[in-house]
Amino acid sequence: MFVAKVLHTGRYMKMKNMLLASVVFLAAGLNPFTADAQRVDTASSGSVDVLIYTRWDFAKDAKTGKGVKGGIYGPRKLKPYLHDSTYQGAEETRRYFTANGFRCLVTEDPAFFTSDAMKSLKLIMLCSCNHELFDTDAQREAFYAFVKKGGGLLAVHSSSACERGSERFRKFLGGAFERHYAKHQRVPFRRADRSHPAIACLPADYVWADDEIYLNHPDEASVRPTLILEWNDVLPESRKRDKHGCPKIGGHILEWCKMYGKGRIYYTALGHNPEDWGKMEWQMHLLEAAKWAMGMTPDRVGDESAKPVVRTTIDGVECVEGEKTVWKFNIANRENKPFVHPLCLPDGRCVTDARPKDHPWHLGLWFCWKYINGLNYWEPRNPPYSNLFPAGMTVLKDFKIVPKGGACEVTLSMWYGPRTEPGNVLLEEERKVCFSEPDEKGAYKIRSTHVFTAKDKVNLDARRPVAYGGFSLRMAKMMRGFEIHGIGGEPDAKKNIGGPKDMTAVRYVDPKNGHGIEMKMLAPLDAERIYTWSDHCFVNPMPIYERAKELSPGDTFTLDYEVSVF
């Protein structure tokens, strides 16, 4: 039997790039970690996809449970060293990986490796582990066998300092800790392998914050370097004090990947500072490295044979096919309104337009109410265009991303209320956005289902000055050359006029090659009309067209749409 151990610390982390924490914790004024918390023990249950391992101790005697003073690696003069980031990093990773659909377990008990829980395991993450990883040879052999047979390994920071003195571990991982620089060091991602998914998900000009850089001198013949710190970027004081100087390749390899049998291994020397683990880009980097190690993503981005694959980004999730973006769902943004952009045709052309100069609050494919209890949630407050924040506030309360190959399901919890009264929730929404996997011709669908519940008396209106609002599509200027067809009726060319009641869908088709996009209402409301504004390539199934909708506390209703790209 093994026990999972998680430590919550009282350190407050600056999470400006996190999707969920920036919305929930900062909006509520809460610290995401509780102060003065004790270590929490929880027994494992059910199947596990990802083991987040936090062992940082010496080997234990099987009978007494005490640390082995001599052990197989010789006498010890130092006490075991625990990195401040080990437990905090494990908890951050557990949250993020769980939100992306993986069943995770955090433990430092090596008994896991000889338990039945190994049967469902896909990845072992060594989360800044240190010293000996195991208490018995049986645990050690089970670990090596797991990777050799096709399991994934993600090793972070001080994990290269495990199994000290073991040449077997050095060859297995690809390198082992030797020293670190005299001072903490910034790391530009300038000399990086952008064909690797773990690197491709970060901006080309990305710079990692100050960190204690582990130098491991991996075997260049057995590893594929993914990140190299150039010697010229090393701080002068560190260059002066580093007796070993610079390797022949012109820098130090900080991240690499390699094969071990049928298994994949990814190592990063970064991750020393606990406050860095709350950064969205760091967790995204680790997730993409983990998915690569599990064999879920192509070995190289840009491979012509690569199939569409969904991956997380700094601000949401996207589907890519080789180097081509299929769609991107921007969950975290300054307007706090999730939107899809770019949304691309099978030939690669982008259909959507986000933040155009004439209407900077238009966000590609998105949802937004117009008026709730007379307050504007759509357009910025006066004076116009001075900012992008309406008087009504839309808040993303929670979300979950579940990728499935080239498909993805995103669930979001939203609420709406006056900006001047942050705690006054008038309307709640549970939204599910499902992206299908592109077929062999590149066609795919997006279904967006919205369930609303009134928390107070609510008046939904859109007729000041015109009847628009709700699920909307702002398209690129090229769409003006597409043919427009209605299903169940024909669109009205007059500005601000909805189509006929029986028209349930509108389709834009390129007459040259037949590619296009269709927006369809599924089970539309009686008052709903599809509005098309040809001058601005704008389509909007208006849920509030003929009359306002009155709700009492507890009333619910559903809006359901399907967007087809072909």
pLDDT per residue rounded down to tens, the chain (566 residues): 444 433 332 222 222 233 333 333 223 332 222 222 222 333 344 689 999 999 988 776 666 666 654 333 444 455 778 888 899 999 999 999 998 889 999 999 999 999 988 999 999 999 999 988 998 999 999 999 999 999 999 999 999 989 888 899 999 999 988 888 878 888 999 899 988 999 988 888 899 888 888 888 888 788 999 999 988 888 888 887 877 777 878 888 999 999 999 999 999 999 998 888 988 889 999 999 999 999 998 777 765 556 888 988 878 999 988 778 999 999 988 889 999 999 999 999 999 999 998 888 999 999 999 999 999 999 887 655 556 689 999 999 999 999 888 999 999 999 999 999 988 999 999 999 999 999 989 999 999 999 999 999 999 987 655 567 899 999 999 998 999 999 988 887 666 677 888 889 999 999 999 999 999 999 877 778 888 887 778 998 988 877 789 999 999 999 999 999 99
Buried b (16+ CB within 10 A) or exposed e, 2-20: bebbbbbbeeebebebbbb
Residue with tokens 């937004």: 368
pLDDT reported for residue 61: 62
Q: How far apart are CA 410 and CA 416, in angstroms?
A: 19
Q: For the chain, which residues make up each domain, given as ranges?
A: 3-174+256-293, 309-565
Pick the CATH number of 309-565 from 3.40.50, 3.30.110, 2.60.40, 2.70.98: 2.70.98
pLDDT reported for residue 321: 86
pLDDT reported for residue 305: 56
pLDDT reported for residue 148: 96
- 88's CB contacts (< 8 A; 6+ apart) are 7, 8, 9, 11, 33, 274, 277
- CA end-to-end span of the chain: 53
Percentage helix, strand, coil for the chain under 3-state DSSP, each rounded to 5: 15, 35, 50
pLDDT reported for residue 33: 26
C-alpha 213 chain-centroid distance: 25
- Structure tokens belonging to residue 259: 């094969």
Q: What is the pTM of this model?
A: 0.58
Cβ burial, residue 561 (10 Å; 0-12/13-18/19+): buried
Pick the CATH number of 3-174+256-293 from 3.30.1460, 3.40.50, 3.30.310, 1.10.1060: 3.40.50
Q: Are 302 and 432 in contact (CB under 8 A)?
A: no
Domains 3-174+256-293 and 309-565 share a fold: no
pLDDT reported for residue 66: 63
Helices (H), 65-166: 85-99, 137-148
Q: At what angle do helices 85-99 and 280-293 cross, to 10 degrees?
A: 70
